[in-house]
Amino acid sequence: MAANEAHAVEHPTYSHHPWPDASKDFKAKGVFTTPNNRTITVHQGATIRSGSGGTCSITLIGDRTGYTAEHCSHGRWTRGTEIFDQSNHRIGRVAAMSRGLDAVKINLDPSVRVDGRWEKRDYNTLNVGEPVHVLGLGQRFNESRVTDRPLMGWNGRPNTVALVSPLNSRPGTSGGAMVDRYNRVIGINVGYLENYTGKYGAYIPWNVVDSELR
């Protein structure tokens, strides 16, 4: 993949489509914090509440860090904003954002237990044609493949998203994890790009995220 990066320019015929929330029925009847003696288990790609009250998904790394798509905030999140799971329990707070980058870093609460061991995989180690999946809305979506397309522009930022084909996600999966066949996390799912050749799943790889969200 490294050879492509030198030529990573946005193709003018692509249209950009961040996934919308899955629904607006994720309404809170009350906000619940977690008692000291209770542990909340969070699974990779679990459903979380968006800034508008709909549903998005979360990417988990290690046992204390989460990520999601910034467009899930609907402009309502800032550093320190509380993040809630599908049962409306607080699971963490926004730790870092970067203007124009469609990704948010979340510090998970001490009461949260991450299910499984989740590690990052660098974009430059990927091979064209490798199978990948999106984990979002609490489920695994159909297999897709790494493409030979260079990093593309997203949200007005050049060289921001990598593409997979065929499209392998749907509304509500924004912020979920893009994983390889060994469940190593290669990036954060955000939506899709489309041109005359079809629709391509779009995710933000770690070399982009880690350079701005510390």
Residue of 211 and 16 predicted with greater confidence = 211
Domains and CATH numbers, the chain: 2-18+118-209 (2.40.10.10), 40-114 (2.40.10.10)
* Confidence at 31, pLDDT banded by 50, 70, 90: very low
- Give first-to-last CA distance, the chain, whole Å: 24
**What pLDDT is attached to residue 179?**
98
Reported pTM: 0.87
Alpha helices by DSSP H, the chain:
2-5, 206-209
- Mean pLDDT (the chain) is 87
**Burial (CB count within 10 angstroms: exposed 0-12, middle 13-18, buried 19+), residue 93:** middle
The first and second tokens of residue 111, run together, are 């009461």
Longest pairwise C-alpha distance within the chain: 55
Tens digit of each residue's pLDDT (9 = 90 or more) over 84-98: 999 999 999 999 999
**What pLDDT is attached to residue 136?**
96
Tens digit of each residue's pLDDT (9 = 90 or more) over 143-194: 999 999 999 999 889 999 999 999 989 999 999 999 999 999 999 999 999 9
**What pLDDT is attached to residue 16?**
62
Mean pLDDT of 55-60: 97
Query: Residue 33 and residue 112: Cα distance in Å, rounded?
Result: 11
Tens digit of each residue's pLDDT (9 = 90 or more) over 197-213: 889 999 999 999 999 99
- Residue where the block lists tokens 């009250």: 53
**What pLDDT is attached to residue 156?**
87
